[in-house]
Structure 1
């Protein structure tokens, strides 16, 4: 990792192959899929092989991840997907973020002393928002896919019914969350069958989840949000003390939104609008950095400027961003080059700006948890999809008879203004819960396009998602390929707390000393953590694919931190 970090901005690495230039309008020579689990990537390849397009494959990959990666996402969660339709040239952002139940008022999450109750916000029935991912699968299949939903869901149904081997990361996550998950009989039935908790190498079968997926495949939206599944979900939540209603499930709808677009160097960037905070933050950070020649800078100077851009973007995230259907987000101003120039003017190139010197009041005007996959097909369609149940295994609650592990996304609201959530980020009124409102997200599915390349990328990681995607973009801009970008060491700053966090190898000892001399506070992992796959010292699980027009090559990159991920290229028949 250190070698890659040292080369990131110093070198422009040659492409892996050379060939005669092709027409930039030519189609890719096949399909490429990168996801966090081999079985999910294989599900997408299977559906492409049946004649499906990238959107059918996305449904297959998403549903398979819902089965094999409950630690990160599932039918009980939500997602934000960025789609590019090659035929029309249209980019569309599909918002399937969870929504707040009407009963979930801020007061419900406070203890007797008026303080935020983290257990209620993060565990059990009150932590869960109304799921959006099943509606996403139906919407994308019906509007953009070529195959029936039943065909795209077939691999996930098969995996849930027949089982898959429990892998190390999943077993570790369950051990960490077991005390919460053992509270609920429906959860114990799935993850502690016969009273024995799942362990690495066990074959995990989920017959109830297979039946839920089958109802979704046969009945579409009504197969989850009405009828048998909906009744079991509501009964299971309410039996544990929650207050869900059938009409709230039946009333859920995905929303299509216009993506955020901006330019960085030679790249056109297309990324996530609110209810994600990621796209606005990316636009701010990259436009702040636009004039600098980062590749030519010494490491400490480069990291300093990138961190200062992060600091300012996260400050604005705190005060301005929320569900655009409920609050007025000043998106045009926050993403403008002039606004970025104003923020840039406040940066001292030789000294850190203490976060408490940036206004703490508005001025006039989301690690292992979550998952991402990236797809390009032979027609040039592409999907950047990030989906989540929020924290490790979400709320820990599986309503009996559903197999559906519910999210704990209510913690992403500002449940008590000015009080940090599980990721240490704060919010105020713009992100307060209201019936049907969507909680602010950090999910940042992104496209990059230049005259030479088309790139799809994204990652999990809570609030670090935004900065990991930023570093991925800077890596591609520096000439790295997909696998090198997926492997990049990462660092992060989010305004408050005022500290730079980093993975092993992300910041050299010499640069760390220079940054401290500038006034930065650093939280660096111990040296022995280097290469510690799956430890708390590594972040994210970046999945990316690229189409290199010069040579007409497809390449994928799957994060090497987790061996169960897979990037695959399927040549066009």
Structure 2
């Protein structure tokens, strides 16, 4: 349990927001490095240099899509413990014309992967799925970003990429959060020569806060992608370098796996919540389905009229029911029958009716939605929110999974590779690093995409965007997004207060209601009296959001993280 709590706390980064489009910054720009202003749009990320990259893209004639992707690629330079081009991404876009796009750049299992590849003598060895060559899935971010630019951007992909390459070459000063993550991972990173050379000093030690970290190999890779497009990554020298390293180090990924990778355009999950339309990402994301489920179950409750304890109670119960469904039903729709009935009104109403105001439920397993055989979805993390004055709104959640992914950097590339294979159920019922359990629906299969908790979300009212939101933090991503929406739309809290309000998290297994340290003792006692088992998990998460209020864009990034960076 202690290990699970530390992982949930770890999957976050430093927050910074941009207020733009004529919106007054809440504090003066020159005294607040986490707030910036520009004229064309709004950007919120987990690092000031990434936010600056997004704002620069807007200034160069780009739109919100260009800004979000410029920020995402820059995060792979300055925030590589969370994300980068060696990982995957879900890109959700509402274009100025009103079109909704869901671009799936999730990693895939190599073709030599198989169901029991992490099982030794009948027991799952999760170390193999969490570090080293067998932990890596074929990355998808490079292809996803390129397609997003082609379909909805205003700039060339190269123009969006090159500033990140220049930053990697000249270096950046490591912040407090990066330094802590690096120190925690140094011993494991040092086991791989490429990682040691790229991220550690000559003795294999972590660089301290304030060190100017230059990454010439990463700069070279980014420049090559800018010149040749994603073909360099998937059919060119990068793929060859990774394939060669995998052959020499016991990995399964081949050059052909890279050549076979395909980004997938999917139909977004669109459901109603009160007067709003919630647009989320479909499977293999569980985020869109379960954000819709939880909000749907809560629609029958007047959340604003409930006191904090009762509100947390019913929200926690809805979370519990949704995560029980997640464990059983969710997986890659190309391999698994994922019923659309999970977000059907009748099923959600039936699940909501199980919630009792006075006591916590004992949920022993998933529910059974309608038409489970026929009505199906089609075959460490960070979040970027962006919007512009033309009406383009973007939510990108991207990840390499845990800190520095698989801890692998193939020599000469500078790219941190993901450990996304741990998001599969390495053995049915065996928890992954976040304590999540799964069934055959999320078992390892060749070419399959692992289930994700990423939940990029756009909220519409009368067809117009009013909010974009997403988060980092493993399974808490879903519950952070839900609470941000409720706090802003139901409780009418200003966006910054909505993100700052004390959070809870319930993921069914373990059957614990995680609460932050600042939850009052009286509220805790009421929850205990209702039958909840409380476990303190404080302060966690990293939510980024933009809202449209009174004709103005307001961008806010995680309020908890500025203080964390100064620790």
User: Is the pair's TM-score, using the shorter chain for normalization, greater than 0.5?
Assistant: yes
The equivalent of 1:442 in structure 2 is 453
Please state how far the C-alpha of 1:243 moved relative to its aligned partner: 2.1
C-alpha distance in structure 1 between counterparts of 2:371 and 2:511, whole Å: 24
C-alpha distance in structure 2 between counterparts of 1:406 and 1:288, whole Å: 38
Q: Deviations for 1:235-255, whole angstroms, at most 9, x for unmatched residues?
A: 223322112211110111111
Q: Deviations for 1:411-460, whole angstroms, at most 9, x for unmatched residues?
A: 00011011111111111111111111100000000011235961111000
In the superposition, the TM-score normalised over structure 2's length comes to 0.89
Any residues of structure 2 matched to 1:101-140 within 5 Å, and which?
101-111=110-120, 113-140=121-148
C-alpha distance in structure 1 between counterparts of 2:487 and 2:366, whole Å: 31
C-alpha distance in structure 2 between counterparts of 1:61 and 1:564, whole Å: 22
From 457, 462, 468, the counterpart of 1:456: 468
Alpha-carbon contact 1:558-1:565 (below 8 Å) kept: no
Alpha-carbon contact 2:458-2:465 (below 8 Å) kept: no
C-alpha distance in structure 1 between counterparts of 2:59 and 2:351, whole Å: 49
C-alpha distance in structure 1 between counterparts of 2:366 and 2:562, whole Å: 43
C-alpha distance in structure 1 between counterparts of 2:370 and 2:328, whole Å: 9
C-alpha distance in structure 2 between counterparts of 1:360 and 1:183, whole Å: 45
Alpha-carbon contact 2:328-2:366 (below 8 Å) kept: no
Please state how far the C-alpha of 1:170 moved relative to its aligned partner: 0.9
The equivalent of 1:476 in structure 2 is 488
Alpha-carbon contact 1:38-1:565 (below 8 Å) kept: no
The equivalent of 2:524 in structure 1 is 512
Q: Work out whether 1:32 is the aligned partner of 2:47.
A: no
In the superposition, the TM-score normalised over structure 1's length comes to 0.88
Alpha-carbon contact 2:86-2:141 (below 8 Å) kept: yes
Alpha-carbon contact 1:501-1:523 (below 8 Å) kept: yes
**Could you say what secondary structure the match of 2:502 adopts?**
coil
Structure 1 runs of 4+ with >6 Å offset: 360-364
C-alpha distance in structure 2 between counterparts of 1:461 and 1:206, whole Å: 26
Please state how far the C-alpha of 1:41 moved relative to its aligned partner: 0.6
C-alpha distance in structure 2 between counterparts of 1:91 and 1:364, whole Å: 26
Any residues of structure 2 matched to 1:360-371 within 5 Å, and which?
365=372, 369-371=380-382
**Bigger relative contact order (CA 8 A; separation at least 6):** 1
| Greater mean alpha carbon deviation, residues 124-133 or residues 449-458 | 449-458
C-alpha distance in structure 2 between counterparts of 1:163 and 1:140, whole Å: 27
The equivalent of 1:320 in structure 2 is 329
| Greater mean alpha carbon deviation, residues 481-490 or residues 249-258 | 481-490
Q: Work out whether 1:560 is the aligned partner of 2:563.
A: no
Any residues of structure 2 matched to 1:302-381 within 5 Å, and which?
302-331=311-340, 333-356=341-364, 358=365, 365=372, 369-381=380-392
Q: Work out whether 1:42 is the aligned partner of 2:52.
A: yes
Alpha-carbon contact 1:29-1:553 (below 8 Å) kept: no
**Could you say what secondary structure the match of 1:107 adopts?**
coil
Please state how far the C-alpha of 1:565 moved relative to its aligned partner: 11
C-alpha distance in structure 2 between counterparts of 1:197 and 1:236, whole Å: 24
| Greater mean alpha carbon deviation, residues 539-548 or residues 397-406 | 539-548
From 252, 274, 298, the counterpart of 1:265: 274
Please state how far the C-alpha of 1:564 moved relative to its aligned partner: 9.5
Alpha-carbon contact 2:112-2:252 (below 8 Å) kept: yes
Please state how far the C-alpha of 1:464 moved relative to its aligned partner: 0.7
The equivalent of 1:384 in structure 2 is 395
Alpha-carbon contact 1:33-1:556 (below 8 Å) kept: yes
Alpha-carbon contact 1:35-1:565 (below 8 Å) kept: no
Alpha-carbon contact 1:484-1:557 (below 8 Å) kept: no
From 183, 199, 219, the counterpart of 2:208: 199
The equivalent of 1:432 in structure 2 is 443
The equivalent of 1:544 in structure 2 is 545
Please state how far the C-alpha of 1:330 moved relative to its aligned partner: 0.3
Q: Work out whether 1:292 is the aligned partner of 2:291.
A: no
Alpha-carbon contact 2:515-2:535 (below 8 Å) kept: yes
Q: Work out whether 1:228 is the aligned partner of 2:237.
A: yes
Structure 2: runs of 5 or more not aligned: 1-22, 25-37, 373-379
C-alpha distance in structure 1 between counterparts of 2:175 and 2:522, whole Å: 38
Please state how far the C-alpha of 1:562 moved relative to its aligned partner: 1.9
The equivalent of 1:21 in structure 2 is none
Q: Deviations for 1:284-313, whole angstroms, at most 9, x for unmatched residues?
A: 111111111111112221111111100100
From 210, 234, 238, the counterpart of 2:219: 210
**Could you say what secondary structure the match of 1:542 adopts?**
strand
Q: Deviations for 1:351-384, whole angstroms, at most 9, x for unmatched residues?
A: 111233x45999983xxx2000100011110110
Alpha-carbon contact 1:29-1:554 (below 8 Å) kept: no
**Could you say what secondary structure the match of 1:261 adopts?**
strand
From 407, 411, 418, the counterpart of 2:429: 418
**Could you say what secondary structure the match of 2:278 adopts?**
strand
Structure 1: runs of 5 or more not aligned: 1-15, 18-27, 526-536, 567-573
The equivalent of 1:4 in structure 2 is none
Alpha-carbon contact 1:320-1:362 (below 8 Å) kept: no
Counting matched residue pairs gives 520
**RMSD between superposed Cα atoms in Å:** 2.0
C-alpha distance in structure 2 between counterparts of 1:402 and 1:271, whole Å: 34
**Could you say what secondary structure the match of 1:459 adopts?**
strand
| Greater mean alpha carbon deviation, residues 173-182 or residues 232-241 | 232-241
